[in-house]
């Protein structure tokens, strides 16, 4: 009975918290990902390929350039963003135009104000498709590793196919990275 009383008290105290939603800055068409730079600024991706640095106090938005050329159609485009405070690097997941369709790629670059210095792909999926569905891609940095979830590209059986990256969770070593797509014998 004590557990139920404690649980009820916790739920009621959380329900009484008031939240307000406040618009910051101007409209963004199809925002996808957000990364916190500091207490006052965030990076936000827009599906068409824009990376915006937004001041949370003033609402000022400025483009961060250059960004990778993206295949922006249906669910594809510039997707997630992660910021590594220790290395001052920005990592972007995007749908990359490739022969035979589009695939997922992750680019990395050093952030210098509103510039991305020498962006370079650190991962390119071995799966490409003409489909504009289920690109997915959320990325997180934990220690020396970047983890990314890759969509199944509209074919659920891809997630069960160990010969391609679609429908997978990948881990990249950021300290000793390998060039994109040179991993041999990556299958378990």
Tell me what the mean pLDDT of segment 10-16 comes to: 54
- Is residue 177 very low, low, confident or very high in pLDDT (cuts 50, 70, 90)? low
* Reported confidence tier of residue 154, pLDDT bands at 50, 70, 90: low
Whether the Cβ atoms of residue 48 and residue 76 lie closer than 8 Å to each other = no
Strand partners, 159: none
pLDDT of residue 156: 67
pLDDT at res. 7 = 46
Q: What's the pLDDT score for residue 14?
A: 55
Q: Which of 94-98, 128-132, 146-150, 171-175 has the lowest mean pLDDT?
A: 128-132
Report residue 105 as tokens.
């790629």
- CA dist 36 and 42 (Å) reads 4
Angle, vertex CA 84, rays to CA 183 and CA 62, nearest 5: 115
* Residue 188: per-residue pLDDT: 46
For residue 49, give the nearest of 19, 28, 35 by alpha carbon. Answer: 28
DSSP 53: E
pLDDT of residue 1: 46
Count of other CB atoms within 10 angstroms of residue 78: 26
**Where does the pLDDT of residue 152 fall: very low under 50, low under 70, confident under 90, or very high at 90 and above?**
low
Q: How far apart are CA 147 and CA 115, in angstroms?
A: 24
Q: How far apart are CA 159 and CA 167, in angstroms?
A: 4
Determine which helix (DSSP H) or strand (DSSP E) holds 95, and give its type and residue range: strand 89-98
- Looking at the predicted structure, is the pLDDT value of residue 119 above 60? yes
Given a cut of 70, whether residue 183 has pLDDT beyond it is no
Mean pLDDT to the nearest integer, 13-33: 76
Residue 136 has pLDDT above 80, yes or no: no
Give the pLDDT of residue 87.
93
Q: Hey, what domains does the chain have and what are their CATH numbers?
A: 2-173 (2.120.10.30)
- Location of structure tokens 């404690």: 6
- Prior bond of 97 cis (ω within 30°): no
Q: Does residue 12 surpass a pLDDT of 50?
A: yes
- DSSP state at residue 158: G
């Amino acid at each position: 009975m004590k557990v139920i009383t404690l649980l009820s008290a916790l739920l009621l105290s959380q329900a009484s918290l008031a939240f307000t939603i406040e618009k910051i800055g101007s409209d963004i068409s199809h925002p996808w990902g957000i990364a916190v730079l500091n207490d006052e600024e965030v990076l936000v991706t827009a599906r068409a390929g824009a990376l915006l640095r937004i001041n949370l106090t003033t609402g000022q938005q400025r483009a961060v350039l250059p960004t990778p050329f993206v295949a922006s159609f249906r669910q594809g485009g510039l997707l997630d963003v992660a910021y590594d405070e220790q290395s001052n690097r920005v990592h972007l997941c995007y749908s990359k135009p490739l022969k035979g369709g589009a695939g997922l790629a992750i680019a990395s670059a050093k952030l210098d104000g509103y510039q991305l210095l020498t962006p370079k792909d650190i991962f390119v999926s071995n799966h490409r498709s003409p489909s504009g569905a289920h690109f997915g891609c959320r990325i997180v940095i934990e220690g020396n590793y970047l983890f990314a979830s890759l969509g199944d590209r509209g074919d659920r059986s891809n997630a069960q196919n160990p010969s391609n990256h679609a429908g997978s969770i990948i881990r990249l070593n950021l300290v000793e990275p390998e060039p994109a797509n040179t991993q041999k014998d990556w299958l378990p």
